[in-house]
Amino acid sequence: MKVGFIGLGAMGSAMASNLLAAGHGVTVWNRSEAATEPLASLGAKVARTADRAVLGDAVCSMLANDQAVRAVFLDSGLLDAMDPGTVHVNHATISVALARELAEAHAARGLEYVAAPVFGRPDAAAAARLNIVAAGKAAAIDKVRPLLDAMGARVWPMGETPERANVVKIAGNFMLAAAIESMAEASALTRAHGVGAADFLEVMTSTLFASPAYQGYGKLIAEERYSPAGFAMPLGLKDVGLALSAGEATRVPMPFAGVLRDNFLDALAHGGEALDWSALALVAARRAGLDKREDV
Amino acid sequence: MKVGFIGLGAMGSAMASNLLAAGHGVTVWNRSEAATEPLASLGAKVARTADRAVLGDAVCSMLANDQAVRAVFLDSGLLDAMDPGTVHVNHATISVALARELAEAHAARGLEYVAAPVFGRPDAAAAARLNIVAAGKAAAIDKVRPLLDAMGARVWPMGETPERANVVKIAGNFMLAAAIESMAEASALTRAHGVGAADFLEVMTSTLFASPAYQGYGKLIAEERYSPAGFAMPLGLKDVGLALSAGEATRVPMPFAGVLRDNFLDALAHGGEALDWSALALVAARRAGLDKREDV
Amino acid sequence: MKVGFIGLGAMGSAMASNLLAAGHGVTVWNRSEAATEPLASLGAKVARTADRAVLGDAVCSMLANDQAVRAVFLDSGLLDAMDPGTVHVNHATISVALARELAEAHAARGLEYVAAPVFGRPDAAAAARLNIVAAGKAAAIDKVRPLLDAMGARVWPMGETPERANVVKIAGNFMLAAAIESMAEASALTRAHGVGAADFLEVMTSTLFASPAYQGYGKLIAEERYSPAGFAMPLGLKDVGLALSAGEATRVPMPFAGVLRDNFLDALAHGGEALDWSALALVAARRAGLDKREDV
Amino acid sequence: MKVGFIGLGAMGSAMASNLLAAGHGVTVWNRSEAATEPLASLGAKVARTADRAVLGDAVCSMLANDQAVRAVFLDSGLLDAMDPGTVHVNHATISVALARELAEAHAARGLEYVAAPVFGRPDAAAAARLNIVAAGKAAAIDKVRPLLDAMGARVWPMGETPERANVVKIAGNFMLAAAIESMAEASALTRAHGVGAADFLEVMTSTLFASPAYQGYGKLIAEERYSPAGFAMPLGLKDVGLALSAGEATRVPMPFAGVLRDNFLDALAHGGEALDWSALALVAARRAGLDKREDV
């Protein structure tokens, strides 16, 4: 299939590579051109301007946040450069509100729009092991199914309304942050009683919580290895903000999300800008004064 | 080994059965005698009074809470009926404060004390698949090791101070409650956006959260099957109370635990006494008015 | 002084009346023209379009929220219709972010900008008893001082940076919401123990909390008189949102604000749209099941 | 009237002095005898043992907490030393649970029991300006009315069930803590935006919050004068614990109380043991990193 790919960060680059590996004709565009080179060497065509990357049957995009998606697709007039019937597959983690606005903007131009946020880090993206949550018209999803299959381990269909995929992604990221905070508070408690985080978390993540999320973040907390960040604090704050906004729009109180928000801010107010979001454990430990107690 | 077993609820009965199956000589006692009958039929000796159940090399106990443990072991004078050197293996989920008091009371009488709380429900107990967290003097743990091995899949040693095992159990149960609340809030959010809890939780518990805790409770939430309770609301409140108390004693703020406390109270104030603690999902849904919205 | 007045809700109308009463020449404009009539009868000149209301020495505005201020002053080009040197006195409760944007937009056009949010309800506005928090260049504030004096009991200067006045207003409204929630939780507690809210709050608001805020809202809670709303729930949610946003921008955790947010949402999810924000007391009572207990 | 007075801390001493000043015959007892001397010099009779202080028509007590009350009145057998018909006026801030237990213990011995907790600090006690919340049988309250009038500015009757007075006191202290936290968060927010706590709180406590509680604590926060403590952090934690326990017993969620609990713990974990509870403002500022920002 002829497909454009817009947004070549760590995630996007890995995903585009897999499209190439699956034999698709891929035209890539990225705001800063340097990121296009590795893909060019794998056979991608490089577009000088974004509007040249949207001329195929489909265009995938993996941009950082609402602002980037808005700038590239809405404010720039890029949608007007796309032929009716083109399918835009948006992999970004964006707000429900923007998802809705995008769905309307595409529909108004006769474009197909599929929200397809992903669960998985860059290593999973490179291994084509992403879990892709997809929502949009069945025909549109069917059309881009070969692309999704080339990038992910599994596609989780969520119906025809694109924003449904986005809320699943947002709720899932909230669950990740809550899992981290849960380990942070629990291990602060055990540490204050003389049981190290590593000893405690080994029990939990080998038994009841033997899952990728807990094992991955549990290891970071046990080893206090928060840098380099796999997913940095400001992104955690941004994502819990998406959950809070989505909850506010639909009147869903989310007390855990409120706690998370405050703890991300606490982390950022204490120099945590570049730390992994699992450093919520540092916040819990600092509040308990564990960083200054000699015996823990 | 000659061993007494005190406390024959669903958990204790299953655990004592496994001791019998492993060939140990077991004398059982329970406050209400009816519970002793199935074990008698498996070969257990039934003690008419608790002091006759503590005459072997070791005595295991699985009582419901602080009050029961205090009543049976401290207030009754039972410890004075035990021979010096006897090992008491206490499987109950009790407070750190009581754990400390018990350790001292045993030491003062030349008795060995091993705290050995367990992770696992009655079905895991029956299958001898419990995870047993054990703390106490190494020699004492070694001595009762055959008993622990007969009841559990694995023993997690936590050092010589008994209360260390208790804080691990308390912190672990807090993590379970937090996992439930996390799913409760997240699925209230997705439901408010038209994505059912079952659809959402299937994605999460098949991928990032593919662990026993999330899969088990996720299923209950997805199916809204809160009755009969595997672990009832009042027990959830009790356990989060143990975490809050342990945190208070060591000055560890636990904001998630505070939220859980309030939500358990909310559940109990709305007729949730007999529901499984996963019915925290009902609280989240009710607060969001989902129980009265026609479209979710 | 020749002054324009834009935004004639209950507050703005009362404030503009006091400018007239003090002898100023007032030209009013309001989106829906009906609101201009009572002022016309008091001697105000009515502008057919907003740009005709900004031709005097100063223009005061009292609009509902960020959107309204943005629409009227930024998106419409209205600032370009003002003569350099004109002082715009903005009384609205707006976000810190918009306050900053407005300050820059005025400065870029050689216009003076004074942020002057007020504490007080329509009755205080009518009686010229408002407390006005004012920030902006000293010369600009001096120039409009006669206007402020005509509308308020006291002017509280907050320095030269306009947004400083806004953050004071935002923090103050947060304190009001917190005071309400505090009475809500406290009286739910006493009611559950058989002491009615009226009996309890009479003690508190006659003694330690003998202040206008507590007495006013305490009375509404004691009498369960939440309708008609003096300040409706959605405005409470909006204002706590302004505090949360201002905190987020400067990394200030605000756990009370998080609780308030959730409780406003809970109220809105239960039909509280038109209720006074003191109906947070209904949320506390409902969560405790007091609405269904016969004995309270 | 012949009256005993037990518990001569700063509050009790001042209250007993006022009984003497009003012409009552007062016999005092205190655990450490030194505190009795100033009262002896004012004409009090000093009892060597507590049972000699309970022989009059009434006995007032002002002890520190549940443990002290339990030790002096229940565990010691002191109630058995009192003649039937004697009225015990308990001024201490104690738990609802203990209040109930005391009421029963007195009734069982034919003693009258009046719960009469007070609002006011030692200076108010010295000036006989306390607000006394009183609950107990009408005849008993009438009998001790001259004593209450000698110690307080006003008596607030709360009916016949003693614990009702205690829950009012507990709920009132919760409101005080919430007022402090509200000022703490609000002034952290304004400080982060360049407006000092003193400037901000002057506005609030001169207007909407012009009440003793806000003005007193607002001044301490504005001046960062947390030492010597008027009411120390551990007492704040104890009192919010009383509210949480009372709420738990009656299933009343209290999210503000949960936040307060965590913040008191945070303060205590950071060396706040001897600080006034208004130093919750330090916790809010530290969490926001304000203690390390140069510009605030």
* Helix and strand numbers, DSSP H then E, in chain B: 12, 9
Query: CA of B100 to nearest chain C CA: how many angstroms apart?
Result: 33
Interface A-D, measured as beta-carbon pairs within 8 A, has a size of: 20
Chain D residue nearest residue B262, CA to CA: D253
The pLDDT value recorded for residue B293 is: 77
The pLDDT value recorded for residue C294 is: 65
Cβ-based contacts of D254 with chain C (< 8 Å): 185, 188-189
Chain C residue nearest residue A261, CA to CA: C253
Residue type, A217: Y
Catalytic residues of D: 169
Give whole-number Cα distances, B288 to B188, B255, C168, C274, in Å.
7, 21, 31, 17
DSSP per-residue letters across B44-74: -EE-SSGGGGS-SSEEEE--SSHHHHIIIII
A255 contacts D269? CB cut-off 8 A = no
C268 contacts A251? CB cut-off 8 A = yes
A119 contacts B195? CB cut-off 8 A = no
Of B2, B137, B143, B169, the active-site residue reads B169
Instruction: Please count the CA atoms within 13 angstroms of the CA of C241 that sit on its side-chain side.
Output: 19
Residue B265's domain is classified under what CATH number? 1.10.1040.10
Q: Which of A160, A190, A213 is the last residue of a domain?
A: A160
The pLDDT value recorded for residue D295 is: 59
| For testing contact with chain C, the best of D155, D248, D250 (most C CBs within 10 A) | D250
Both C256 and C132 in a single domain?
Answer: no
Chain C residue nearest residue D244, CA to CA: C189
Return d(Cα A268, Cα B277) in angstroms, integer: 34
Measure CB to CB from residue A269 to each of D255, D269, D289 and give the nearest one: D289
Nearest to D88 by CA among D6, D175, D182: D6
Strand partners, B26: B3
Chain C residue nearest residue B265, CA to CA: C288
Both B147 and B76 in a single domain?
Answer: yes
Measure CB to CB from residue B287 to each of C255, C266, C289 and give the nearest one: C266
Catalytic residues of A: 169
Nearest to B107 by CA among B139, B136, B69, B130: B136
Cβ-based contacts of C288 with chain D (< 8 Å): 250-253
Nearest to A240 by CA among D162, C244, B102: C244
Both C106 and C241 in a single domain?
Answer: no
Chains that touch D (3 or more CB pairs under 8 A): A, B, C
Give D17-64 pLDDT, tens digit per residue. 999 999 999 999 999 999 999 999 999 999 999 999 999 999 999 999
Angle among Cα A38, A42, A44 to the nearest 5 degrees reads: 90
Whether C293 shows a pLDDT value over 80: the answer reads no
Give whole-number Cα distances, A58 to A54, A131, B82, B205, C191, in Å.
7, 20, 78, 31, 62
Return the SS3 of B83. coil
Chain A residue nearest residue C257, CA to CA: A258
ipTM given for this complex: 0.97
**B295: pLDDT confidence band, cut at 50, 70 and 90?**
low
Nearest to C27 by CA among C11, C43, C10, C9: C43
A289 contacts D270? CB cut-off 8 A = yes
| CA C141 to chain CA mean position, Å | 20
The pLDDT value recorded for residue B296 is: 55
Cβ-based contacts of A207 with chain B (< 8 Å): 119, 131, 154, 212
| For testing contact with chain C, the best of D208, D287, D290, D296 (most C CBs within 10 A) | D208
Both B132 and B194 in a single domain?
Answer: no
The pLDDT value recorded for residue A296 is: 55
Measure CB to CB from residue D251 to each of B244, B248, B269 and give the nearest one: B269
Query: CA of C266 to nearest chain B CA: how many angstroms apart?
Result: 5
Both D105 and D81 in a single domain?
Answer: yes
The pLDDT value recorded for residue D296 is: 55
Cβ-based contacts of A289 with chain D (< 8 Å): 269-270
Contacts of B211 (CB under 8 A, 6+ apart): A208, A209, A210, A211, A214, B205
Query: CA of B284 to nearest chain C CA: how many angstroms apart?
Result: 10
C284 contacts D185? CB cut-off 8 A = no
Average pLDDT, chain D: 97
Whether B158 shows a pLDDT value over 70: the answer reads yes
DSSP per-residue letters across C238-267: HHHHHHHHHHHHHT---HHHHHHHHHHHHH
Q: Give percent of chain C with pLDDT exceeding 90.
A: 98
Both C248 and C137 in a single domain?
Answer: no
Measure CB to CB from residue B269 to each of C255, C270, C287 and give the nearest one: C287
Residue A86's domain is classified under what CATH number? 3.40.50.720
C156 contacts D189? CB cut-off 8 A = no
Both B20 and B120 in a single domain?
Answer: yes
Both B106 and B241 in a single domain?
Answer: no
What phi and psi, each to the nearest 5 degrees, are found at residue B113? -130, 125
Cβ-based contacts of D294 with chain A (< 8 Å): none
The pLDDT value recorded for residue C296 is: 56
| CA A157 to chain CA mean position, Å | 17
Chain B residue nearest residue D268, CA to CA: B251
Across chain A, which has 296 residues, the per-10-residue mean pLDDT values are: 97 98 98 96 97 97 97 96 97 98 97 98 96 98 98 97 98 98 98 98 98 97 96 97 98 98 98 97 98 71
CB-CB contact of B176 with B213 (8 Å): yes
Residue labelled with tokens 């919520």:
A280
Chains that touch C (3 or more CB pairs under 8 A): A, B, D
Both D172 and D137 in a single domain?
Answer: no
Return the SS3 of D121. coil
| CA A215 to chain CA mean position, Å | 19
B246 contacts A195? CB cut-off 8 A = no
What phi and psi, each to the nearest 5 degrees, are found at residue B273? -45, -45
Both D60 and D153 in a single domain?
Answer: yes
Both C47 and C141 in a single domain?
Answer: yes
Cβ-based contacts of D119 with chain C (< 8 Å): 203, 207-208
C252 contacts A261? CB cut-off 8 A = no
Burial D19-29 (b: 16+ CB within 10 A, else e): bbeeebebbbb
Q: Which two tokens stand for residue D236?
A: 């704040």
Taking 70 as the pLDDT cut, the residues of chain D under it are 294-296
CB-CB contact of C261 with C241 (8 Å): yes
Both B219 and B137 in a single domain?
Answer: no
Whether C139 shows a pLDDT value over 80: the answer reads yes
Given strand A2-6, what is the order of strands in its sheet?
A45-46, A25-29, A2-6, A58-61, A87-90, A112-115
Chain D residue nearest residue A267, CA to CA: D287
Given strand D87-90, what is the order of strands in its sheet?
D45-46, D25-29, D2-6, D58-61, D87-90, D112-115
Nearest to D72 by CA among A176, D81, D285: D81
CB-CB contact of A264 with C251 (8 Å): no
The pLDDT value recorded for residue A292 is: 83
Q: Which of C114, C133, C160 is the last residue of a domain?
A: C160
Question: What is the 3 state secondary structure string of chain A?
Answer: CEEEEECCCHHHHHHHHHHHHCCCEEEEECCCHHHHHHHHHCCCEECCCHHHHCCCCEEEECCCCHHHHHHHHHHCCHHHHCCCCCEEEECCCCCHHHHHHHHHHHHHCCCEEEECCEECCHHHHHCCCEEEEEECCHHHHHHHHHHHHHHEEEEEECCCCHHHHHHHHHHHHHHHHHHHHHHHHHHHHHHHCCCCHHHHHHHHHHCCCCCHHHHHHHHHHHHCCCCCCCCEHHHHHHHHHHHHHHHHHHCCCCHHHHHHHHHHHHHHHCCCCCCEHHHHHHHHHHHCCHHHCCCC
Of C2, C137, C143, C169, the active-site residue reads C169
Average pLDDT, chain C: 97
The pLDDT value recorded for residue A293 is: 77
B252 contacts D265? CB cut-off 8 A = yes
Interface C-D, measured as beta-carbon pairs within 8 A, has a size of: 207
Range of the domain at B133: 2-160
- Residues of C near B (Cβ–Cβ under 8 Å) read 255, 262, 265-266, 269-270, 287-289
| For testing contact with chain B, the best of C287, C292, C295 (most B CBs within 10 A) | C287
Q: Which of B105, B135, B160 is the last residue of a domain?
A: B160
Angle among Cα C182, C188, C194 to the nearest 5 degrees reads: 135
D289 contacts A270? CB cut-off 8 A = yes
Give D246-256 pLDDT, tens digit per residue. 999 999 999 99
Return the SS3 of D192. helix
C261 contacts A258? CB cut-off 8 A = yes
Return the SS3 of D4. strand
Q: Give percent of chain C with pLDDT exceeding 70.
A: 99
How many domains does chain A fold into? Answer: 2
The pLDDT value recorded for residue C82 is: 96
Burial D36-58 (b: 16+ CB within 10 A, else e): beebeeeebbbbeebbebbebbb
The pLDDT value recorded for residue D294 is: 65
B253 contacts D263? CB cut-off 8 A = yes
Q: Which long-range contacts (CB under 8 A, 24 or more apart) does C160-163 make?
A: C160/C135, C160/C136, C161/C103, C161/C135, C161/D194, C162/C90, C162/C99, C162/C100, C162/C102, C162/C103, C162/C113, C162/C114, C162/C115, C162/C135, C162/C136, C163/C96, C163/C99, C163/C100, C163/C103, C163/C115, C163/C135, C163/D193
Nearest to D232 by CA among D277, D278, D180, D177: D277
